[in-house]
Structures are given as C-alpha cells and as structure tokens.
C-alpha cells in the first residue's frame, strides 16, 4: 500500500485512471481493516472524486469509474449499517453501469461490473424481491453470467478480476469448488506475490476440507510491509489448526487475529462473506 500510494503521488490527480485506482486503494484498506474511524473520511474523499470525474471529458473509463465509485459507496454504506443511503447508491450505480454498457458495448470492465450486479440481484432469494422492486432493480443470473464470461475470456485491464469473480460466482451457483480451487492454485503459482489469490487458495481448500493444503498456503503467503495486515487470515488458520487438534497453535493464531483486527463490532463481517463470496448481493469489484 505505501508503494502504491507513492506511485499515485507522481500521477495527475485529475486523471480518470488515477482517481479510480486511488479509490480502489482506499476501499481495499477500509474493507480489509473494517476500521469504522476511516468511514467518514473515505466517503468524503469519494464524493470529491466523483466531482473530479464529472469535470473530466466523457470516455468509457470516465463513465465506468463514476459508476464504480457509486458502487463502492453503496458497499461501504451497507457494511457500516447505513442501509438506506447504500440502497440508493446501489440503484444509481446499477443504472449508471447499465448505461455505460449500452453506450460502450465493447468496454469489458463495464460488462464485468454489470454482470456481477445482475447475478447478485438475480440470485437473491424470493423474499427480498419486493425490496428490489421498490428500488426499480431487476437482475438476471443468465445475463450476469454472460457478461462475466465475456469479460473473463478477453484481454483487458480487469481480466484477472473478471476471471476470479466468474469462478467464485460459478462455484456459488453450480457448486464448482474443484474448478475454482484449480484456477486460484494456478494463479497463485503464477503470481506468488499476490496476497488476494493466496487468500482464495486458503479459503477454497478450507471449504474442501483440505486442511494441509490450506495451511501450507497460509504459511507460504506473501508478507512484509508492502501488504496490509489481513487479520482474518489468522482466524482462518486458527480454525484449520483446531481441525487438526493443534490447540495451542490455534489459540496463538486467534490471539493474533484479535491483535490485528481494527473493525467495529457494529460493522458487518466482511472478509468471510462480503468480498469473497459473490452472489446474494455479496460481491465487490474495482
């Protein structure tokens, strides 16, 4: 994170790409830490970024970034229990992303985000549909998967993200756990410095009860000052060690989790569900 911020400081702060990357950085930090003290500051910064985007010349990236920032705001507001504002921003983000996809059908990042939203809304249980109708939102699992597959199969700056979201969505919907595990394991071998992919390797092997594989990935995860401390990794490791009967080691990892965790007790638990399990309205992308 410090290195990324240092690079951003050398870029034009009004550049659309710089605005989007800066917002993604802040989103990653607050969603991983769940630090409620950052909430107001991040929302204020997002509003300023949206104003900057409004002044930029129209382009696919400008329009996509504006819709994506609205989606980020919606996620934050729901996580930190401002559901009404979050629902309104979700509606705006969805409508904006639909507009971007229609204006620029070949712009694959928009299809990635739109597909994610359509799948999430379309796969919600029937009991939530009345709420969606009030918001004027409609989703489709089939349409969402179609958009995601197009974004995952063709090269663009967000292809890796598209591939991961599609794999997790298909796992959720089609129960393709083995295929998803093979994908993230292959990606981890190709990108050993990618902590997100490492997290998914641990999570997938844990779901499949492959405790040894999950713990091996945890122990070889990339570490250092360049990475945000991910407290939830230690909680996952504690569970895995508990399964193996390593009680003292499990306790140490849980204590480490408690030392690192900065989240509010009122914030919705995120790392175990919101980021990493697409479907049922629990997906986030940059």
R_g over Cα of the chain: 19
CA dihedral 179, 272, 241, 184 (to 10 degrees): 30
pLDDT of residue 27: 94
Beta carbons of 112 and 148 less than 8 angstroms apart: yes
Q: What is the pLDDT of residues 137-187, one digit of tens each?
A: 877 889 999 999 999 999 999 999 999 999 988 888 888 888 899 999 999
The whole-number pLDDT of residue 264 equals 57
Residue 235, H or E segment: helix 231-243
* Distance in angstroms (rounded) separating the CA atoms of residues 26 and 33: 11
Per-residue confidence (pLDDT) for residue 127, from 0 to 100: 73
The structure tokens listed for 174 are 């089609």
Q: Which residues of 134-144 are buried (b: 16+ CB within 10 A; e: fewer)?
A: eeebebebeeb
Alpha carbons 74 and 191: distance in angstroms, whole number: 31
Q: Per residue in 186-218, is it b (16+ CB within 10 Å) or e — as a string?
A: ebbeeeeebbbbbbbbbbbbbeeeebebbbebb
| pLDDT tier at 131, thresholds 50, 70, 90 | confident
> Which one, of 90, 45, 91, lies nearest residue 71 by Cα?
90
pLDDT in tens, 251-260: 999 999 999 9
Neighbours of 58 (CB within 10 A): 8
Q: Which residue has the higher pLDDT, 53 or 277?
A: 53
| pTM (predicted TM-score) | 0.86
Mean pLDDT to the nearest integer, 69-76: 95
State mean pLDDT over 63-80.
95
- What totals of helices (H) and strands (E) does the chain contain, helices first? 14, 0
Q: What is the pLDDT of residue 152?
A: 95
Alpha-carbon gap, residue 72 to 189, rounded angstroms? 30
Instruction: Please classify residue 85 by burial: count the beta carbons closer than 10 Å to its beta carbon, then call 0-12 exposed, 13-18 middle and 19+ buried.
Output: middle
Question: How sure is the predictor about 203, in pLDDT bands with cuts at 50, 70 and 90?
Answer: very high
Question: Predicted confidence band at 282 (pLDDT cuts at 50, 70, 90)?
Answer: very low
Burial of 176 (0-12, 13-18, 19+ CB in 10 A): middle
């Amino acid at each position: 994170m410090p290195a990324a911020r240092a690079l951003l400081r050398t870029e034009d702060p009004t550049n659309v790409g710089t605005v989007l990357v800066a917002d993604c950085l802040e989103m990653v930090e607050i969603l991983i830490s769940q630090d409620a003290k950052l909430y107001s500051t991040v929302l204020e910064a997002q509003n300023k970024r949206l104003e900057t985007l409004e002044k930029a010349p129209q382009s696919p990236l400008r329009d996509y970034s504006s819709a994506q920032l609205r989606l980020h705001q919606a996620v934050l507001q729901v996580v930190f229990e401002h559901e009404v504002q979050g629902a309104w921003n979700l509606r705006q983000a969805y409508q904006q992303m639909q507009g971007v996809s229609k204006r620029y059908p070949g712009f694959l990042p928009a299809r990635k985000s739109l597909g994610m939203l359509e799948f999430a809304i379309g796969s919600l249980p029937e009991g939530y549909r009345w709420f969606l109708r009030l918001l004027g939102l409609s989703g489709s699992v089939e349409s969402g998967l179609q958009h995601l597959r197009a974004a995952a199969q063709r090269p663009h700056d967000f292809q890796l993200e598209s591939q991961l979201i599609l794999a997790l969505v298909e796992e959720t919907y089609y129960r393709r756990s083995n295929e998803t595990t093979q994908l993230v394991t292959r990606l981890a071998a190709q990108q050993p410095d990618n902590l997100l992919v490492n997290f998914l390797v641990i999570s997938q092997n844990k779901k499949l009860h492959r405790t040894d594989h999950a713990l091996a990935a945890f122990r070889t995860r990339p570490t250092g000052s360049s990475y945000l401390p991910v407290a939830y990794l230690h909680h996952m490791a504690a569970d895995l060690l508990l399964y193996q009967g390593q009680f003292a080691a499990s306790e140490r990892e849980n204590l480490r989790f408690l030392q690192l965790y900065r989240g509010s007790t009122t914030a919705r638990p995120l790392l175990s569900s919101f980021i990493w399990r697409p479907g049922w309205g629990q997906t986030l992308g940059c």
